[in-house]
């Protein structure tokens, strides 16, 4: 795990001058998890460049080793994963500890369910409060046995069926993690596994499964309330594939918002993933008047990427409809900070999922903004922010949530008084060099 011993737990950032320069965004967390998992399930050796070396992804790497993969990091930063191939996964000798990683835990549940092996899943206190039944209930339809004491939470044990069944399911919650777990379990089933989505979610798993050789397709139904129908042919023989991990748009959210709110700033964010199911924040900020230009657009690892040229902008409040929530669910804390500096009111709807993230992010954002002089109100699944010139001056309680910590550190770059956060150690889960990266563009701690 990342060493945070040299970093004081409480911190703040200030900008004494405009932010400027090139900013290399850390590797995308979602793709990093999936690269490790699919390389483990494949035959041969995959090489992964740009892997996010945050605590969440490192926990997944440890879990893949426990399931039988050979994983090493070369001196040049490239990760090599020699997979187990079909039927090569093994029951681990110890519980799989995912620390704070909901993505890693939920996706690997699907791997275990489809592989006919058994594993106990554990995590830290925060992860152990998060709902897992949304994944385990559909996995039980494959024949997997779930032992969670009736809690629907960690710790729990999954024992995959000797002959997993293909399933045709419509998840109640729009979640790429749920969809991905079902598809990964489907690799071990004969026949076709089908996931019908009421609202399309990020498709990194589908894109990467195709790269590794699985037969998978997506299509929209012709019905009035169209579904996104994902179909996977089981018993796929995955083949090793080299992966270049693009920059994480969820991590890019913080320097992006910083450049928009600090007067005079101009940044170039390098190598940012722009998957249509992940670029909701960029679209929302552009509607608010943000000066954001996509340059050097290209494709890598089956995903669209580009550099983003961003400069300080006069933002205006907008209505952010519920249908865009899946494309930016992790970026709402950053959007709320941008809204605090915008003219007028920004209303965000359909974001109740934020209440079951690493913290109750809706409550944490509301409390942090209000403490720093912002007119804000959170509903059951909504947030209303009326912007202006936030005073700042408060210390924000982060509730062990990395995105809350980074969002309010960014807010303090442009408030009249400094904004402190009570803890920063958890930032290592997704952005290990956050302070160093922000210092490189002019932020001072």
Give the integer Cα–Cα distance in Å for 174 and 327: 11
Between these two residues, 209 and 200, which has the higher pLDDT value? 209
Rounded CA-CA distance 279/307 in Å is 13
Residue 330 is a catalytic residue:
yes
Residue 323, phi then psi, degrees to nearest 5: -70, -10
Structure tokens at 166: 């293909």
What is the rounded end-to-end Cα distance, in angstroms, of the chain?
23
CA-nearest of 431, 374, 424, 383 to 404 is 424
8 Å CB contact between 401 and 357: yes
- Asked if 114 contacts 138 with a C-beta cutoff of 8 angstroms, the reply is no
Beta bridge partners of 218: 230
Could you read off the pLDDT of 65-86 as tens digits, one per residue? 999 999 999 999 999 999 999 8
Mean pLDDT of 194-205: 93
Residues 212, 232 contacting (CB under 8 angstroms):
no
Residue 23 tokens, joined: 């900013």
What is the fold, at CATH topology level, of the domain defined by 29-244?
UDP-n-acetylglucosamine1-carboxyvinyl-transferase; Chain (3.65.10)
Mean pLDDT for the chain overall: 94
User: Which residue in the block uniquely carries the two structure tokens 């912007």?
Assistant: 387
Q: What is the pLDDT of residues 237-284, one digit of tens each?
A: 999 999 999 999 999 999 999 999 999 999 999 999 999 989 999 999
- The one catalytic residue in 97, 248, 330, 423 is 330
Q: In this predicted structure, what is the pLDDT of residue 9?
A: 61
Give the architecture-level CATH label for domain 11-27+246-439. Alpha-beta prism (3.65)
Q: What is the pLDDT of residue 199?
A: 85
pLDDT reading at 6 higher than 50: no
User: Are both 11-27+246-439 and 29-244 of the same fold?
Assistant: yes
pLDDT in tens, 225-237: 678 999 999 999 9
pLDDT tens-digit series, residues 301-342: 789 999 999 999 999 999 999 989 988 999 999 999 999 999
Q: Does residue 5 surpass a pLDDT of 70?
A: no
Q: What is the pLDDT of residue 326?
A: 86
Please state the domain extents for the chain. Answer: 11-27+246-439, 29-244
**Has residue 30 got a pLDDT over 60?**
yes
């Amino acid at each position: 795990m990342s060493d945070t011993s040299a970093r004081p737990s409480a911190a703040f950032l200030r900008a004494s001058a405009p932010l400027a320069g090139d900013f290399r965004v850390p590797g995308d967390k979602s793709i990093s998890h999936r690269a490790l998992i699919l390389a483990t399930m494949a035959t041969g050796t995959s090489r992964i460049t740009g892997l996010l070396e945050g605590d969440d992804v490192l926990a997944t790497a440890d879990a893949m080793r426990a399931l039988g993969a050979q994983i090493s990091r070369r001196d040049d930063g490239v990760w090599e994963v020699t997979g187990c191939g079909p039927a090569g996964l093994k029951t681990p000798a110890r519980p799989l500890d995912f620390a704070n990683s909901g993505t890693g835990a939920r996706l690997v549940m699907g791997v275990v369910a489809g592989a006919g092996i058994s594993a106990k899943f554990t995590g830290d206190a925060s992860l152990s409060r998060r709902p897992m039944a949304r994944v385990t209930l559909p996995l039980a339809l494959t024949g997997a046995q779930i032992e969670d004491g009736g809690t629907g939470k960690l710790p729990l044990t999954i024992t995959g069926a000797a002959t997993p069944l293909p399933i045709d399911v419509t998840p109640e919650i729009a979640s790429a993690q749920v969809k991905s777990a079902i598809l990964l379990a489907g690799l071990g089933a004969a026949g076709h596994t089908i996931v019908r989505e009421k609202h399309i979610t990020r498709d990194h798993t589908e894109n990467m499964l195709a790269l590794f050789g699985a037969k998978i397709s997506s299509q929209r139904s012709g019905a009035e309330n169209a579904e996104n129908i994902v179909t996977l042919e089981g018993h796929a023989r995955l083949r090793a594939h080299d992966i270049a991990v693009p920059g994480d748009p969820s991590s890019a959210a913080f320097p992006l918002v910083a450049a928009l709110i600090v007067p005079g700033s101009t940044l170039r964010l390098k190598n940012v993933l722009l998957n249509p199911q992940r670029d909701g924040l960029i679209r929302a900020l552009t509607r608010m008047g943000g000066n954001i230009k996509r340059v050097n657009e290209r494709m890598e690892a089956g995903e669209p990427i580009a550099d983003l040229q961003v400069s300080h902008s006069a933002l205006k409040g907008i209505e952010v409809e519920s249908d865009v929530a899946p494309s930016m669910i992790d970026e709402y804390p950053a959007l709320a900070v941008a809204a605090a500096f915008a003219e007028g009111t920004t209303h965000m709807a359909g974001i109740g999922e934020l209440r079951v993230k690493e913290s109750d992010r809706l409550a944490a954002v509301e409390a942090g903004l209000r403490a720093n002089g912002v007119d804000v109100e959170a509903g059951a699944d909504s947030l209303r922010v009326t912007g202006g010139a936030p005073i700042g001056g408060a210390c924000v309680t982060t509730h062990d949530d990395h995105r809350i910590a980074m969002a309010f550190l960014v807010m303090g770059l442009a408030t009249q008084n400094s904004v402190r956060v009570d803890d920063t150690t958890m930032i290592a889960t997704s952005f290990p060099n956050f302070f160093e990266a922000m210092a490189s563009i002019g932020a001072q701690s």
